[in-house]
Amino acid sequence: MNRQQVLDRLRGFEGCVSYLYRCTGGEVTIGIGHALADAAAAAQLAWVIAERPALPGEVQADYAKVAAAPKGMLAAKYAPLTQCRLDQDTINQLADADIAYFESRLAARFPGWNTFPEPAQQALFDMAFNLGTAGLSKFPKMLAAVNAGDWQTAAAQCERQGISKQRNQATAALFLQAKSASA
């Protein structure tokens, strides 16, 4: 799987945010869609406030404010709630680790992962990153099509609820590209 293409696609759909925000699913998130399980996980990162290291209590306070805020707002709406920021290198490291994690989970989930056309791998990656690998189980017809190499059906069955029309169309287009690559 071409990790640079995956990263570029994630940046386009997830954005790249240096402060805590809530994703569309409601999770407290940082960077390029990196969900944080709790305030303790957030406190493990190298946050700064006006070029000085943030104290753990400051990070936890930011986390609490964002976690208590309504979900579904644009990421920029959460910025005034926080003072802690991550630098681009840390954000890139989190993204690299997330890509490696989800790729390994997909390889474990799909025995034919390494034989799938590149566009199919990228489509599945986008869905797994967005939904979690367990969330893929909500798409049994798509999964059956993927395992059969039926990329046309996979494209028709990959639409997620609560996701932009553009992102759903981009994912379906990747499956259709996989069909062309397999022909």
Q: What is the pLDDT of residues 116-155, one digit of tens each?
A: 999 999 999 999 999 988 999 999 999 999 999 999 999 9
Q: Quick check: pTM over 0.75?
A: yes
* Whole-number Cα distances in Å, 73 to 21, 26, 56, 70, 98: 9, 10, 26, 7, 24
User: What's the average model confidence in pLDDT over 98-109?
Assistant: 96
Of the listed ranges 65-69, 107-111, 161-165, 166-170, the least confidently predicted one is 161-165
Q: How many CB atoms lie within 10 A of CB 9?
A: 20
* pLDDT value for 40: 95
Where residue 72 falls among pLDDT bands split at 50, 70, 90? confident
Does the pLDDT at position 158 exceed 90?
Answer: yes
Q: How far apart are CA 19 and CA 152, in angstroms?
A: 39
> What is the b/e burial string over 73-110, where b = at least 16 CB atoms within 10 angstroms of the residue's CB?
eebeebbebbbbbbeeebbebbbeebbeebbebbeebb
Does the pLDDT at position 99 exceed 70?
Answer: yes
Domain borders along the chain are 14-92, 110-182
User: What's the average model confidence in pLDDT over 63-82?
Assistant: 94
Q: How many CB atoms lie within 10 A of CB 22?
A: 21
* pLDDT value for 183: 61
* pLDDT value for 48: 97
Residue 143 token pair:
């999964």
Q: How far apart are CA 32 and CA 4, in angstroms?
A: 13
DSSP 2: -
The one-letter code for the residue type at 158 is C
Mean pLDDT of the chain: 94
Q: What is the DSSP string of 5-62?
A: HHHHHHHHHH--EEEEEE-TTS-EEEETTEE-SSHHHHHTS--EETTEEPPHHHHHHH
The one-letter code for the residue type at 148 is A
Does the pLDDT at position 182 exceed 80?
Answer: no
Does the pLDDT at position 163 exceed 90?
Answer: no
